[in-house]
A and B are shown apart, each in its own frame.
Chain A
Amino acid sequence: MRMTTTAERVPGAPRRGVRFWRRHGAGYLFVLPSMVFFLLFMFLPLGWSFVISFQKFGLAQSSWVGLDNYVSLLNDPVFLQAAFNTILYSVLTVAVWVLVAMVLATLIHPLPPRFRTFFRAAYYLPAVTSAVFIALVWRWILNANPWGLANYVLSLFGAGPLGFISDPSPFLGVSVALWSVILSSMLTIPAVGVVLYSAALSGIPRDLYEAAESEGASAITKFRYITVPLLKPITLYVVVLYTIAAFEVFERVYVMTGGGPGYATNTIVYLIWRTGFRFGEYGLASAEAFLLFIVIATISLLQFRALRSDVEY
């Protein structure tokens, strides 16, 4: 049976195959390395990590544990705190970053080109270095000793010294340590946001501002009623970009606090790293990672949908 069908196809098939290959082969060969890469290092790991999340993983052998990993995570105060910390960190820093980026870009925009180039470069510069180095400096600035720069500044106002990143005591319901980490992030200039907003601002028609000026609108009125609404599409984009970045915060926590004191500044990605690569709990780490994936994929999908329906100026 098999033989006959093959035999019947043999005369035509190779020739058709050859023709197909001559026509399209180059295309396939050109995308081959990238496709192999994406399948092997993105999609295979995604599925694999889903499978591992239902296992208690051992290098020799793994055993199926059903939903145990997920159940224990959702009952684990350490995980819940890490989730809470990550969300609080993301909401606060993203809000500040987006606002700061928009205001800075608006202020830079009307300046002469020389100034514009200078400020954009100055604000972008910190973004070209590894977060590790910036976090190291912040750890030094925020150290608990009286010679720490932050404590010295406080002492000028007769306050402190504070433990900052080493202080687990609560302030407004959250540890001082977490506030310190959040504050250090907020003080990092949102470089990409500034550049993106600058580009978008050049696209706003001038006559809108001219009309507003002829009616005697103040700078703040123009910002509030022309700039902000017209930047809405790019704002959506910047918000998603930064939200995803904030959800994946790692270096800052690793360097500044190591998740501590206690679990005060633990975040999801820090927890994934610790669970998986400090304690070798691959199953649990994969479950944590998969929960993060669900959140990030949802945010990305919402963005794709919103962008598709909201592109016109």
Chain B
Amino acid sequence: MATSTSSGVSVRAPREVPVPVPAELLPAVSRATNASGRPLRRRERLAILAILVPVAIIALFPFYWMVTTALTPSSAAIRVPPSLVPLDASTENLTELFRQAPVLLWAFNSFVIAVAIMVCHIVFDSMAGYAFAKKRFPGRNLMFLLIVSSLMIPVQVTLVPRFILVSRLGLDDNLLGVILPSIADVFGIFLMRQFIRTLPAELEEAARVDGASEWKVFWRVIMPLSRPAVATVAIFSFVGAWNAFLWPLIVLSKRELLTLPVGVALLQQEFSSNIGLQMAGAAVGAIPMIVLFLFFQRHFLDGVRVGGVKG
């Protein structure tokens, strides 16, 4: 991904919208082990770890507590003093969760929405990124400016008209209504443009000489060469869509159509006194993304550095 730092970078804020920042701000990472090149003394390293380790514990504690409570039967969860390890650990809450709520259906909905949005981003963001990087046509710069300037529009200001629009299309309370207003995004277009710009023109030319159509050049030549950038766009689109809350909350209302975050938030209102059930729901929603992160850790961190996403 380092190639795309060459001329510009965008970072996506938690509201799903990236803000471009000049690459000069984010220089390439060197492999230096020390700011001044001198190896750390043992004492220094211990002092640093004495701060970083407790902070890491604070960072990860909510997940630990989520899982611990999820594994603790409700009667034991309200014990004083609270126990830091699961007492009488059981899967009682999980069983109860699957009985009380269509959790698998919610997971399925989340998955469908996330995959659909991811595929749309991969195709449409790459197409636009390719055109902005390699094609010349009147109005190109104006269009690019327009797209980048949409960064200044908070999603919240578009909610009411979007909802009216989606309702008139008959897509309220429909997974398509969640997908449609997210089929492209600035982050992906920007990232793809930066990456494709670095690809040599000869490859395209060669394909054209062989008689390939415009689409074939894009799909068979550009896309395979852009795999690292596409991977970043794919991962961040998937995770962003899986975690989205406000828009699905507005569009979806039938219980069996909800996504995991919306459904689990609803559980909290329905079973406000059953904390075990709530934590089991939270764990079921959070764990898939954690697993994904552990698998694609490098992509995530490079993605933030190069194109950045959530806060």
Listed in ascending order, the chain A residues whose CB lies under 8 Å from chain B are: 23-24, 26-31, 33-35, 37-38, 40-46, 48-49, 52, 104, 107-113, 115, 117, 119-134, 136-141, 145-149, 152, 155, 187-193, 195-196, 198-204, 206, 209-210, 212-213, 222, 233-234, 237, 240-242, 244-245, 247-248, 250-251, 254-255, 269, 272-273, 276-277, 282, 285-286, 289-290, 292-293, 296-297, 300-301, 303, 307, 311-313
Contact = CB atoms under 8 A, between A and B. Distances in A.
Given A132-B245, A254-B265, A126 B28 contact: no
A229 B163 CA distance: 45
A75 to B, nearest CB: 22
B60 interface: yes
14 contacts: A38-B147, A45-B165, A48-B160, A52-B160, A107-B51, A112-B33, A129-B286, A129-B290, A133-B285, A137-B66, A149-B65, A191-B310, A206-B32, A292-B154
Contacts of A136: 66, 264-265, 268, 278-279, 281-282
Contacts of A195: 301, 304-305, 308
Interface of B: 11, 13-15, 19, 21-22, 24-38, 40, 44-45, 48-49, 51-52, 55-56, 58-60, 62-63, 65-66, 69, 77-82, 123-125, 127-128, 130-132, 135-138, 140, 143, 146-147, 150-165, 180-181, 183-184, 189, 214, 218, 239, 242-246, 249-250, 260-262, 264-265, 268, 275, 278-279, 281-283, 285-286, 289-290, 292-293, 297, 300-301, 304-305, 308-311
Nearest to A47: B161
A192 B308 contact: yes
Contact of A313 (B24, B55, B127, B140): B24
A272 B159 contact: yes
Contacts of B152: 296-297, 300-301
The 7 closest A-B pairs by CB, nearest first: A203-B27, A27-B135, A209-B36, A45-B158, A45-B161, A30-B131, A24-B137
A130 B243 contact: yes
A78 to B, nearest CB: 17
A207 to B, nearest CB: 8
Contact of B60 (A28, A120, A122, A286): A122
B136 A24 contact: yes
A38 B150 contact: yes
Contacts of A31: 127-128, 131-132, 140, 143
A206 B159 contact: no
Given A123-B56, A128-B310, 16 more contacts: A27-B131, A33-B123, A104-B55, A119-B52, A125-B60, A128-B290, A130-B245, A134-B62, A136-B66, A136-B281, A137-B282, A140-B279, A149-B65, A191-B310, A240-B19, A292-B154
Nearest to B259: A130
B301 A121 contact: yes
Contact of B162 (A41, A202, A248): A41
B290 A206 contact: no
Nearest to A226: B35
State the main secondary structure of chain A at its contact with B: helix
A261 to B, nearest CB: 15
Q: Which of A26, A245, A254 has the most CB of B within 10 A?
A: A26
A307 B22 contact: yes
Contacts of A192: 11, 304, 308-311
Given A38-B147, A125-B290, A244 B15 contact: yes
Contact of B128 (A34, A250, A303): A34
Contacts of B246: 250-251, 269, 273
Nearest to A201: B35
Contacts of B282: 132-133, 136-137
Contact of A206 (B22, B37, B51, B261): B37
Contact of A245 (B13, B22, B48, B285): B13
A222 B38 CA distance: 15
B160 A189 contact: no
Given A33-B128, A132-B264, A307-B21, A269 B150 contact: no
B156 A289 contact: yes
Contact of A126 (B13, B62, B181, B183): B62
B285 A27 contact: no
A125 B154 contact: no
A261 B35 CA distance: 49
Q: Which of A38, A44, A237 has the most CB of B within 10 A?
A: A38
A108 B265 CA distance: 35
Given A44-B161, A128-B289, A234-B26, A293 B153 contact: yes
Given A132-B285, A133-B261, A213 B135 contact: no
Contacts of B278: 136, 140
A137 B19 contact: no
A226 to B, nearest CB: 9
B33 to A, nearest CB: 6
Contact of B137 (A28, A110, A123, A272): A28
A125 B309 contact: no
B310 A127 contact: yes
A313 to B, nearest CB: 7
Q: Which of A40, A199, A233 has the most CB of B within 10 A?
A: A199
Given A111-B40, A122-B60, A199-B29, A24 B124 contact: no
B134 to A, nearest CB: 9
Nearest to B64: A137
